[in-house]
Chains A and B, each alone.
Chain A
Amino acid sequence: MAVNVISSGLSTTVQDLGRPGYYHLGIPVSGGMDRFALRAANMLVGNDEAAAVLEAVFLGPELEFTAAATVAVTGGDLPPRLNGDGRGTWEAFPVKAGDRLSFGYLRSGARVYIAVSGGIDVPVKLGSRSTYTLGALGGHEGRALKAGDSLPLGAGAGAAGKGAIPAGLRRMPGSPAELRMLPGLYWHRITAAAGKQFFADTWKVAPEADRIGYRFKGGTVLDFVPREPPFGAGSNPSNIVDACYPYGSIQVPGGTEPIVLHRDAVSGGGYMMLGCVISADMDLIGQLQPHSPARFVEVSMDQALAARADRQAALARLRAHLGR
């Protein structure tokens, strides 16, 4: 039982909920960028929520199934087609041996999650099936899929679908996207006026936006508080002695374009960070297209934890809706 890759799309990778525990070696957690959508896709096909799925960005792959299975596509609005006939996103549909799944053009969002009943059964590496392409680790041969690849499916393929998820239960970014962030880390390196302006500006996603990080442009260049460069940091005011980078941390090399690190984050480096996008809003970044507008919204730790609880409640509503 397998999924054959007829064409790969732009960059389609195997992802699950990731590989925690190796960040101290520079190996990031990886896994689906939009974990809410990834979990939803698995729920729809009757999988464990943590099963491996395919993550496709901007342009869908074409896939062929060698046996009957249940499929669901969640996340962005990249319309699925089965043997050329339209199918909905956020709903389960059956496929037969020989059926082909392809995609139309992206209407909104950036990434889709393609779950197949049984899950994509590539080998587990360091506790996960997720692909970390920079380190050639996990997934299918440590890389994005290519035409001609064949992906095995796990046990349970052929389970019945679980219906659909109505729009009100989904979670996608608005426009402009509002990314809540907790200021901290090296926030004190910029002036109070620069900090105020950072939140006032509307930014645009730059073309350099991928699984490692999202770059934003179009805002005001930061003013730094003057200092003598500490030994080993480097001479630019945005430099620090190379340190760890949290997931979601917002670094601003040269004070110009903020970069939010995501699931395939580089684990450390020498740029100051303004704080972190809160855990509840990391999923939203994965659905932003280049050139789309975004704002950073200041929150407190209590607000961050409330947002985290809200996201968990939204997942609980999905489970209840699908009778899980």
Chain B
Amino acid sequence: MSIRFSFGGDEHIFAEVSEEMSLEAFFTSLSMTNAVKAAGIKGVTEICPANASFQIKFDPDRIKAGDLLKELQSMEGAASESDGTLQTRIMEVPVLYQDPWTHETLMRFRERHQNPNATDLEYAAEVNGLGGVEDFIKAHSSQPWFVSMVGFVAGLPFLYQMVERKRQLQVPKYLRPRTDTPKLTIGHGGCFSCIYSVRGAGGYQMFGVTPMPIYDPTQKVSYLQDEMCLFRPGDIVKWKPVTRDEYDAAIEAVDANRYEPVIRPSTFSLSAFNRDMAGTNAKLMEALNGR
């Protein structure tokens, strides 16, 4: 994989690892951005990994664009040889699929959708050749997902499912973006799921909501006091379907600031995953469930 570099004006270097999404491209992006961080290059002001690319912002008054480019290119060999081992976290995210709030919203924007006569979940099940909504939810929630990018808006994770490409769930975005999306909506566009961290515009299909806060600019939520944003690239997420009663109980705990998310340390190896996806995912579930 040879990285394509391009200057983004006089203050950015944009690097496309691969045109198409893959975990290999993501790991190269993460290795590169970690190497840039570790190198402590003067004049580098922002280091942003993304799904299959990354971006470095720099101050051209402190480092010449060409010099920075040369430094990045010199790191490319080591990054592509990285074995893809990551000390990371696996966390459980409760989801109320088919909730009333995203339902109300999707009905309001039906004329912007490919199929005005179906819900987003019904449409997603159909385009993926799954029997129905229940089958789609099972496919969405049974295998874990990788946080392959954080951004768009504050703390929003993009998630890539840890299954073979032929099993990836793919759903087009809305024909025209909505002007409204409920906060903490579980969305999906292309091969990526996401969690909308704030209320606002959005083009991803809407499947449900989580009661679990993931961004808190007031830093009052017990587990978001040190960092406003919960997710980091490389985190692993397992959706846990919950009932309305379980959702309401979680909201009550969030409101009383005694909600404790399930987050466990874990090690991930890309080479081990590629050898045995089911086995790797089963081990991740053991780490999550404490067995």
**Contacts from A to B (Cβ < 8 Å):** 20-21, 23-27, 125-126, 132, 134-138, 142, 181-182, 184-185, 230-235, 239-244, 246-249, 266-270, 273, 275-280, 301, 304-305, 308
Contacts and interface: CB of A to CB of B under 8 A. Distances in A.
Given A231-B165, A232-B190, 8 more contacts: A21-B45, A25-B228, A26-B197, A185-B14, A240-B19, A244-B55, A270-B189, A276-B12
Contact of B190 (A26, A234, A266): A234
A242 B8 contact: no
B45 A26 contact: no
28 contacts: A25-B155, A25-B229, A26-B151, A26-B229, A132-B154, A135-B217, A184-B6, A184-B8, A185-B14, A232-B51, A233-B20, A234-B189, A241-B52, A243-B51, A244-B50, A244-B53, A246-B8, A246-B9, A246-B11, A248-B9, A266-B152, A268-B149, A270-B190, A276-B7, A276-B8, A276-B9, A278-B10, A304-B9
A142 B217 contact: yes
Contact of A20 (B46, B50, B54, B189): B46
B174 to A, nearest CB: 12
B49 A24 contact: yes
B79 interface: no
Contacts of A184: 6-8, 14
Give the secondary structure class of A's interface: mixed
Contact of B8 (A136, A239, A275, A308): A275
Contacts of A248: 8-9, 11
B50 A243 contact: yes
A26 B53 CA distance: 15
Most buried by B among A125, A243, A275, A304: A243
B11 A279 contact: yes
A235 B8 contact: no
B283 interface: no
Contact of B173 (A26, A232, A234, A279): A234
Given A244-B53, A246-B14, A27 B154 contact: yes
Contact of B57 (A23, A181, A234): A23
A302 B228 CA distance: 39
Interface string B27-46: 00000000000000000011
B233 to A, nearest CB: 8
B277 interface: no
Nearest to B46: A23
Contact of B10 (A23, A185, A304): A304
Contact of A26 (B11, B51, B156): B156
Interface string B60-93: 1100010000000000000000000000000000
B207 to A, nearest CB: 18
B153 interface: yes
A25 B147 CA distance: 12
Interface in B145-182: 149-156, 158, 160, 165, 172-173
B251 interface: no
B47 interface: yes
B198 interface: yes
Most buried by B among A26, A132, A138, A230: A26
Nearest to A231: B20
Contacts of A304: 9-10
Interface string B104-133: 000000000000000000000000000000
Interface string B196-219: 011010000000000000010100
